[in-house]
Amino acid sequence: MNIVVDTAWEAIQLENTVRIVHQKIGIVNKIGSNPSACMDLLISLNKVEELDEAIDISNQIFVPSPAEALKYYNKQDWLKKIEDGGLLVTVKRDGHMAGYAICYREDQIFHIWNVGVLESYRGQGVWKKIYETIHQYATKNGCSQLTMNTYKSKFSSMYSFCQKHGFVEYKIEDGKSFFTKHIP
């Protein structure tokens, strides 16, 4: 599996704004010895033209009620999160979007707000790569904490992930677990 990062990194760091530069900055990792089994994993940062597709995938994964759709699936809101120092990570495998994450920033806190990997791509390390990208980005941009909220009952895979990867569960409210992790 070849993993390529496609990023507007420099532009964002310089101007703290969203600009798209399609630039392959290198093959980060290679896994697998059988060339026929190799698949490309393309990770993009703040590629806002992929926002519609990310929102579409998120809808497929979470199937929001009309009220939830109004509250959580407003494209302008997602864009504002990015413009205000947040991050959109999109992952394509063989040209198809496999997963995404959208994060927002509040002072030194980088909050992982909405993430998902399509069912057919799960269990192959896609989220792990997205998470590593977020962690690296937040660290590089001077954040001191990563936070994430989830429900143990509904999203047990993410709950296990947080427990396994150094997050501390500091609050539970109405079944919702609040996690935090100091970085780097």
Ligand X SMILES: CC(C)(COP(=O)(O)OP(=O)(O)OC[C@H]1O[C@@H](n2cnc3c(N)ncnc32)[C@H](O)[C@@H]1OP(=O)(O)O)[C@@H](O)C(=O)NCCC(=O)NCCS
Residues near ligand X (CB under 6 A): 61, 115-117, 122-128, 150, 155, 157-158, 160-161, 164
Please state the closest distance from residue 7 (CB atom) to ligand X, in A.
Answer: 20
User: What is the distance between the alpha carbons of residues 172 and 16, in angstroms, rounded to a whole number?
Assistant: 34
Cβ pair 157, 117 in contact under 8 A: no
Using the CB atoms, write b or e for 78-103: b if 16+ within 10 Å.
Answer: bbebbeebbbbbbbbbeeebbbbbbb
For residues 8 and 58, which CB has a smaller minimum distance to ligand X in the complex? 58
What is the arrangement of strands in the sheet containing 176-182, beginning at the earlier edge strand?
A: 24-30, 2-7, 40-45, 87-93, 96-106, 109-117, 145-151, 176-182, 168-173
User: What is the distance between the alpha carbons of residues 81 and 38, in angstroms, rounded to a whole number?
Assistant: 34
Which residue shows structure tokens 């809101």? 77
For residues 20 and 178, which CB has a smaller minimum distance to ligand X in the complex? 178
Please state the closest distance from residue 21 (CB atom) to ligand X, in A.
Answer: 26
Please state the closest distance from residue 10 (CB atom) to ligand X, in A.
Answer: 27
For residues 14 and 173, which CB has a smaller minimum distance to ligand X in the complex? 173
For residues 21 and 61, which CB has a smaller minimum distance to ligand X in the complex? 61
For residues 16 and 38, which CB has a smaller minimum distance to ligand X in the complex? 38
Please state the closest distance from residue 172 (CB atom) to ligand X, in A.
Answer: 14
Please state the closest distance from residue 123 (CB atom) to ligand X, in A.
Answer: 5
